[in-house]
Amino acid sequence: MKKMLDAVDVGISWVENVVCIVSLTAIVTIAAASVVARYVFHTGFLWADEVNQALLVAMGMFGCARAVRTNGHTEFTTLSNKPKSKKVRIAIRGIIELITIVFLAFLLVNSIKYTMTGTVLSTVLRVKRMYYYMSIPIGFGLCIYEYLRAFKKRVIQEPESEDE
């Protein structure tokens, strides 16, 4: 069972990385091609801005989950490192993690509702907006997964301090 869960975790990590890499590469490529087309050939791609917006949202949402996985998010260490007692510090970190997960769950539910109402067609490509918005609840779901996956480690382990 653990092997299967580890394989699923590796798959999720792989998806997060691939979506971030492909999104960023596509954004840069489309933006560069649009600039060249506009200033060199005096024409442009009508669809470029619309596609880049959707890719930017996807990259942001999947990148957020990836940042949680790699411990790249900021933490409230000023508050959680203040008490002398290790048990109190663990309790504070646990409360902060729980608040974060509850907030992400709230955002997940509301983003699903928002995505389902996106039946308006996009301006240029004439695609339902809900397809552009689908990466938002997926990203929040992945963030919840990543926080739950690392919950014990993030609460028990003392955060690294940034010595100047």
pLDDT tens digit sequence for 57-110: 999 999 999 999 998 777 767 777 777 888 888 898 899 999 999 999 999 999
pLDDT at 164: 46
Angle, nearest 10°, between helix axes 86-116 and 135-149?
160
Taking 50 as the threshold, does the pLDDT of residue 150 lie above it?
yes
pLDDT at 65: 94
- Give me the mean pLDDT over the 118-128 stretch: 86
Q: What is the mean pLDDT of the chain?
A: 89
pLDDT more than 70, % of the chain: 96
Cα–Cα–Cα angle for 16, 153, 96, rounded to 5 degrees: 90
143/75: higher pLDDT: 143
And the tokens for 61?
């949402």
Model confidence band, residue 162 (pLDDT cutoffs 50, 70, 90): low
Whole-model pTM? 0.86
pLDDT at 117: 87
Contact between 44 and 37 under an 8 Å Cβ cutoff? The reply is yes
pLDDT more than 90, % of the chain: 54
**Residue 18: partners with Cβ closer than 8 Å, 6 or more residues away:** none
Taking 90 as the threshold, does the pLDDT of residue 28 lie above it?
yes
